[in-house]
């Protein structure tokens, strides 16, 4: 949510800021703004409601904003409606402090009333303006430098924030502060960058420094210096980003989502290979030694959105092949219900960005209780990756489209690999079964390519039903988990109302929603549950539903029940989610295209949900 870019160096800042913000459009936003300083001159602020193109037009692609030091922001509205007034950057009354902010200030109303008593005026509805003027208040009251003013502000503020600040008295410097919102610092000779995410600065530097929670930094042409809340300097080492900058470009595809659907075979292959050593799964590299695995009593999987759906599918796999108790929790619920966890249990948190606010909070709660934590994340150096006891990195590369595709399937593969290793180490499968499961996983890339090659049939079907009012997904077991993700893909980018139901629950109320022509998608990849689900499909068909069946090659009798059938290659049923989800990703994509929607940036949604 929201995007931040900052630059100080020997180049014109505004074009760099605009380019960086364009790389962060996937995060979701409703307005944008720039603040640029030309030497000792006053900071010039330009804002625009709507797309970034409006800001580019106002500034002649940044050419009319002169200066080598600046900050930029794309805002996703939380406090206050989308408007030019509420857009960032925000400025203190006399221009002493200018800042952009990601996150939410929980006690902003209390702080605002305090500042009003000290004759501060407010022009916006945002919590950000409050924190900007609080910095200004401490800076002037105590006659301190920027770091001390920021430290006093951080102690007083409750909530989450990534703050990037310019002080009028320090024209050659940018200051940053962080708590619970993602932010990285890019370094290069005589240049410094700050951004919410790596793609914003990949074209300029691959050397980044991760600023930790409750830390501050001063950026200048001399480099970056980091501080703790006491104002003491904190030594830091830079990390090198290996991502190809072109991986964050469309590469000839009309939308990032389709490009990322096509990238799944490679991402899955890379993720599998990253966990293998001499052809065997090696979790010791991430700190999960065999004696630790043997001693774990149960697993709790905590995640949000599509990552939660990964957890639902993984629960079936862990319990069936590793015979270890698993429960799956929504992170937003887990953190507030005082969970009971076994001291010998393990909490697995799943997050593509590694910055999901609720998941990060759940991780911290588990750690406070002394429970071992394992993170499945895609972004190296993210908050969750740094704070978890053990980390399994998925090698999906940058995922730009808001609707996750390769992030989801690589998370599935990571969970499969962990489950297989748990099963082997705990003596629940023998060497033959172990080798069989690994060989099945290795067939995924080729089989996904085969599904994508047959996408024209799904495109035709999507165009036919793009005006559907309601769509229902039904399945059992792992197929139900697939339905959850398929339904989310459809609703989030096509805006068609869709729901996923465990097929056996239809008779308990849901079947009353079926009308003539209602599209129902039955997912049936689990051999032992095939006949049961087909019976449920017949129930809705007899009440007028139009049926799409999604099943594995060989189950051709599905065509006797369904009006339209999509086939995926056969694979061990434990891993079917990785294949069956591909046609549903394509379905959501083509529905959205047919309805004329912005596929990569659906309304009201953000890529990384870094606030509650």
CATH code assigned at 26: 3.60.20.10
pLDDT of residue 27: 67
At residue 180 the predicted structure's pLDDT band, cuts being 50, 70 and 90, is confident
155 lies in some domain: yes
pLDDT of residue 1: 59
Under 8 Å between Cβ of 460 and 548: no
The answer to whether residue 356 scores a pLDDT higher than 70 is yes
Under 8 Å between Cβ of 109 and 91: no
Same domain, 558 and 433: no
Strand-pairing partners, residue 225, are 218
At residue 267 the predicted structure's pLDDT band, cuts being 50, 70 and 90, is very high
Same domain, 235 and 258: no
pLDDT of residue 369: 94
483 lies in some domain: yes
Same domain, 485 and 514: yes
Hey, is 198 helix, strand or coil? Answer: helix
The answer to whether residue 313 scores a pLDDT higher than 60 is yes
pLDDT of residue 397: 87
Q: Give CA–CA dist 408/413, Å, rounded.
A: 9
Q: Give CA–CA dist 68/191, Å, rounded.
A: 10
Catalytic positions, written as ranges: 2, 607
Tokens of 351: 């997050």
Q: Give CA–CA dist 416/437, Å, rounded.
A: 9
Torsion of CA 523, 526, 532, 533, to 10 degrees: 0
Count CB-CB contacts under 10 A for residue 495: 15
Query: Which of 329, 44, 377, 33 is closest to 182 using CA atoms?
Result: 377
pLDDT digits (tens, 9 = 90+) for 559-589: 889 999 999 999 999 999 999 999 999 999 9
609 lies in some domain: no
Same domain, 256 and 242: no
Under 8 Å between Cβ of 144 and 594: no
Same domain, 298 and 274: yes
pLDDT digits (tens, 9 = 90+) for 326-352: 999 999 999 888 889 999 999 999 999
Q: What is the largest CA-CA distance in the chain?
A: 80
Same domain, 337 and 373: yes
pLDDT of residue 398: 85
Per-position DSSP letters for 208-237, written without gaps between them: EEEPPTTEEEEEETTEEEEE-TTS-EE---
Q: Give CA–CA dist 147/135, Å, rounded.
A: 10
Report the pLDDT averaged over residues 225-240: 94
Average pLDDT, the chain: 92
The answer to whether residue 393 scores a pLDDT higher than 90 is yes
The answer to whether residue 265 scores a pLDDT higher than 70 is yes
Residues 6+ apart with CB under 8 A from 596: none
Q: What percent of the chain has pLDDT over 70?
A: 97
Residues 6+ apart with CB under 8 A from 478: 313, 316, 317, 525, 526, 573, 574, 576, 577
pLDDT digits (tens, 9 = 90+) for 143-162: 999 999 999 999 999 988 99
pLDDT of residue 47: 94
pLDDT digits (tens, 9 = 90+) for 74-130: 987 777 788 999 999 999 999 999 999 998 899 999 999 999 999 999 999 999 999
Q: Give CA–CA dist 185/177, Å, rounded.
A: 11
Report the pLDDT averaged over residues 189-204: 90
Q: What are the contacts of 137-143 at 24+ separation with CB within 8 A?
A: 139/96, 139/97, 139/167, 140/96
Question: Which single residue is written with the structure tokens 């980044």?
Answer: 208
Q: Give CA–CA dist 514/516, Å, rounded.
A: 7
pLDDT of residue 244: 65
602 lies in some domain: no
Q: What percent of the chain has pLDDT over 90?
A: 73
Cis bond upstream, residue 60 (ω within 30): no
Same domain, 409 and 457: no
The answer to whether residue 608 scores a pLDDT higher than 60 is no
Q: For the ranges 228-242, 268-282, 413-427, which has the lowest average pLDDT?
A: 228-242
Range of the domain at 27: 3-246
- Residue at which a domain ends, from 192, 220, 246: 246
67 lies in some domain: yes
Backbone angles phi, psi at 473, to 5 degrees: -110, 135
CATH code assigned at 537: 3.40.50.10490
Report the pLDDT averaged over residues 297-319: 97
Report the pLDDT averaged over residues 533-542: 86
Report the pLDDT averaged over residues 416-439: 97
608 lies in some domain: no
Hey, is 69 helix, strand or coil? Answer: strand
Per-position DSSP letters for 132-168, written without gaps between them: HHHHHHHHHHTT--HHHHHHHHHHH--EEEEEEEEET
Same domain, 414 and 549: no
At residue 2 the predicted structure's pLDDT band, cuts being 50, 70 and 90, is confident
Q: Give CA–CA dist 412/418, Å, rounded.
A: 10
Under 8 Å between Cβ of 327 and 347: no
Report the pLDDT averaged over residues 467-492: 94
Q: Give CA–CA dist 427/450, Å, rounded.
A: 35
The answer to whether residue 610 scores a pLDDT higher than 60 is no
DSSP summary character for residue 200 = G
- Residue at which a domain ends, from 246, 262, 288: 246
Hey, is 80 helix, strand or coil? Answer: coil
At residue 448 the predicted structure's pLDDT band, cuts being 50, 70 and 90, is very high
Residues 6+ apart with CB under 8 A from 317: 415, 416, 419, 478, 574, 575
- Residue at which a domain ends, from 193, 225, 246: 246
Hey, is 51 helix, strand or coil? Answer: coil
C-alpha distances in Å from residue 125, one per residue of 129, 134, 136? 8, 15, 18
Same domain, 394 and 537: no
607 lies in some domain: no
Number of domains in the chain: 3
Q: Give CA–CA dist 397/410, Å, rounded.
A: 10
Q: For the ranges 372-376, 431-435, 537-541, 565-569, which has the lowest average pLDDT?
A: 537-541
Q: Give CA–CA dist 590/458, Å, rounded.
A: 8
Question: Which single residue is written with the structure tokens 């990601």?
Answer: 102
pLDDT of residue 609: 56
Backbone angles phi, psi at 354, to 5 degrees: 75, 10
Give the strands of the sheet with 90-91, arranged side by side.
90-91, 97-105, 159-167, 174-179, 215-220, 223-227, 233-234
Same domain, 404 and 515: no
Same domain, 437 and 535: no
Count CB-CB contacts under 10 A for residue 441: 25
At residue 544 the predicted structure's pLDDT band, cuts being 50, 70 and 90, is confident
Same domain, 162 and 289: no
Beta strands (DSSP E) in 25-130 are 31-37, 44-49, 69-75, 90-91, 97-105
605 lies in some domain: no
Q: Which of 250-264, 420-434, 460-474, 551-565 reaches the highest mean pLDDT?
A: 420-434
Q: Give CA–CA dist 414/275, Å, rounded.
A: 8
Q: For the ranges 281-285, 297-301, 335-339, which has the lowest average pLDDT?
A: 335-339
Query: Which of 299, 298, 322 is closest to 311 using CA atoms?
Result: 299
């Amino acid at each position: 949510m929201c995007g931040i870019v900052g630059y100080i160096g020997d180049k014109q800042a505004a074009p760099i800021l605009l380019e960086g913000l364009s790389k962060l459009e996937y995060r979701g936003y409703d307005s944008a703004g720039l603040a640029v300083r030309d030497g000792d001159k006053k900071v010039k602020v330009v804002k625009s409601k709507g797309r970034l193109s409006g800001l580019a037009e106002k500034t002649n692609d940044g050419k009319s904003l002169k200066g080598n030091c600046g900050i930029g922001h794309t805002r996703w509205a939380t406090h206050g409606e989308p408007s030019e007034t509420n857009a960032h950057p925000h400025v203190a009354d006399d221009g002493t402090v200018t800042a952009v902010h990601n996150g939410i200030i929980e006690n902003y109303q209390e702080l605002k009333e305090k500042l009003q008593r000290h004759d501060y005026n407010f022009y916006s509805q945002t919590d950000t303006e409050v924190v900007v003027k609080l910095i200004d208040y401490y800076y002037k009251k105590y006659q301190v430098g920027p770091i001390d003013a920021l430290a006093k502000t951080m102690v007083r503020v409750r909530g989450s924030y990534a703050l990037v600040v310019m002080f009028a008295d320090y024209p050659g410097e940018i200051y940053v502060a962080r708590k619970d919102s993602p932010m990285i610092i890019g370094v290069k000779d005589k240049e410094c960058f700050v951004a919410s995410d790596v793609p914003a600065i990949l074209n300029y530097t691959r050397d980044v420094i991760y600023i930790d929670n409750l830390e501050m930094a001063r950026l200048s042409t001399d480099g970056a210096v980091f501080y703790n809340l006491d104002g003491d300097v904190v030594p830091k080492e830079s990390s090198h980003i290996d991502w190809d900058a072109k991986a964050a470009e469309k590469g000839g595809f009309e939308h990032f989502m389709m490009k990322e659907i096509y990238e799944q075979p490679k991402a899955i292959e890379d993720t599998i290979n990253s966990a293998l050593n001499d052809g065997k799964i090696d979790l010791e590299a991430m700190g999960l030694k065999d004696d630790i695995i043997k001693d774990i009593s149960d697993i709790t999987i905590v995640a949000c959105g599509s990552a939660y759906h990964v957890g639902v599918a993984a629960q079936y796999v862990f319990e069936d092949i590793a015979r270890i108790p698993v429960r799956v929790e929504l992170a937003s619920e887990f953190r507030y219900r005082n969970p009971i966890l076994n001291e010998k249990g393990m909490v697995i948190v799943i997050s593509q960005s590694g910055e999901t606010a609720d998941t990060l909070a759940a991780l911290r709660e588990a750690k406070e209780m002394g429970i071992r934590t394992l993170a499945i994340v895609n972004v190296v150096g993210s908050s969750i990756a740094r704070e978890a006891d053990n980390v399994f990195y998925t090698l999906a590369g940058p995922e730009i489209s808001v609707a996750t595709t390769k992030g989801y399937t690589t998370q599935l593969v990571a969970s499969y690999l962990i489950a297989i290793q748990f099963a082997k180490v705990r003596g629940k499968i023998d060497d033959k079964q172990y080798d069989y499961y690994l060989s099945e996983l290795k067939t995924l890339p080729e089989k996904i390519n085969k599904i994508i090659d047959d996408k024209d049939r799904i495109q035709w079907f999507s165009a036919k039903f793009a005006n559907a009012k309601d769509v229902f997904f039904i399945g059992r077991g792992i197929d139900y988990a697939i339905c959850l993700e398929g339904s989310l893909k459809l609703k989030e980018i096509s805006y068609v109302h869709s729901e996923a139901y465990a097929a056996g629950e239809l008779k308990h109320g849901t079947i009353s929603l079926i009308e003539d022509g209602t599209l129902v998608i039955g997912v049936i990849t689990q051999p032992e549950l095939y006949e049961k689900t087909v019976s449920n499909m017949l129930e809705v068909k007899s009440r007028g539903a139009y049926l799409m069946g999604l099943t594995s090659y060989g189950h051709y009798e599905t065509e006797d029940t369904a009006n339209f059938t999509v086939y995926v290659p056969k694979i061990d049923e434990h891993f079917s989610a990785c294949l069956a989800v591909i046609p549903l990703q394509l379905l959501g994509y083509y529905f959205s295209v047919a309805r004329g929607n912005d596929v990569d940036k659906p309304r009201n949604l953000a890529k990384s949900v870094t606030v509650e």
